[in-house]
Amino acid sequence: MKHFLRMLIQLCLYFYCKFLWCGLKFVMRKLTGRCELQRICLNTKPGALRTMKIETSLRNSKSKLLQTAVSVHPDAIEKTIEDIMELKKINPDINPQLGISLQACLLQIVGYRNLIADVEKLRREPYDSDNPQHEEMLLKLWKFLKPNTPLESRITKQWCEIGFQGDDPKTDFRGMGLLGLYNLQYFAEKDATAAQQVLSDSLHPKCRDITKEEISKFSKAEWEKKRMDKAIGYSFAIVGINITDLAYNLLVSGALKTHFYNIAPEAPTLSHFQQTFCYLMHEFHKFWIEEDPMDIMEFNRVREKFRKRIVKQLQNPDMALCPHFAASEGLINM
């Protein structure tokens, strides 16, 4: 009975809020002479906040035209905006900026949806050692990360030197498919110096510097143990595939909308996603050193703490992860 009453109250509150919001929109329309889309574009600066407000408004609209606007083909966006202007009785000659603003927002909204589809397609495609393109990408990954060390053969323990688990990397791509390889190769090629440094640090880790304040909190026994402890490294390639999984889930959950809507002036692309992966690899590497884990078994704890930090940052509508390194040059466009 209590469960039924709770459900009934929630249902009543939903309809109350829905009708209240519809009434408020009607009143605002009468008072300002502008529809909700006009008010958003007029009162909210370009970027994630405006685009997300437009997206919410379109999805919650009673009009089928507005509801479906968020999922049209990119080529149909211009015609969709014309139809919206006609439906809302807005003269494009008097309000030319509205059409431009709506177009920018819809390009981002539709582009984000299409980016998820592109990323999902790569994730679902398994690595195929009989596919020459797949093999070429894998060999390029080695070449970019170890330019001065020739690979002795395709099947070799040398792969462990860049963080794979065995003598054939194809088995490590099962979770993320080709997406993991695409991201690793992108990082190694576009930001070669940093990628090689991160690889080197993962193989030869250094303890972070301990402040005087931290030292004062240690007992003599704890300090002696800390002094003797070795820093823990990690498997570069395996962590790269794991961070690919993190980036993928941030994308699918919608958490990355804030970042992409702030940096991509139009539709976010696969390159933007790969830029984000590069940034996350940089940040996770620094975070790992800061956390100074006791052993590799703490990886999941550190990763989850890192994930929560990134998610919290992305909750800020003005947030752009803004990776300032070689691979990101030319992408930021606020």
Model pLDDT for residues 167-201, shown as the tens digit of each residue: 999 999 988 999 999 999 999 999 999 999 999 99
pLDDT value for 90 = 86
Element (H, E) at 253: helix 236-253
Q: Confidence class of residue 231 from pLDDT cuts 50, 70 and 90?
A: low
pTM of the model as a whole: 0.82
Q: Confidence class of residue 310 from pLDDT cuts 50, 70 and 90?
A: very high
The answer to whether residue 228 scores a pLDDT higher than 90 is no
Q: Confidence class of residue 23 from pLDDT cuts 50, 70 and 90?
A: low
Residues found in the chain: 334
Better-predicted residue by pLDDT, 268 or 92: 268
Mean pLDDT within 89-114: 90
Better-predicted residue by pLDDT, 42 or 6: 42
Q: Confidence class of residue 203 from pLDDT cuts 50, 70 and 90?
A: confident
Burial class (CB in 10 A: 0-12, 13-18, 19+), 223: middle
47: alpha, beta or left? (left if phi > 0; alpha if psi -120 to 50): left
Better-predicted residue by pLDDT, 330 or 182: 182
* Rounded-to-10 torsion of CA 87, 90, 96, 97: -80
Q: What is the overall mean pLDDT for the chain?
A: 84
What is the Cα–Cα distance from 302 to 170, expressed in whole angstroms? 26
- End-to-end CA, the chain: 53
Mean pLDDT within 143-159: 94
Per-residue pLDDT tens over the stretch 105-144: 999 999 999 999 999 999 999 999 999 999 999 999 999 9
DSSP 316: S
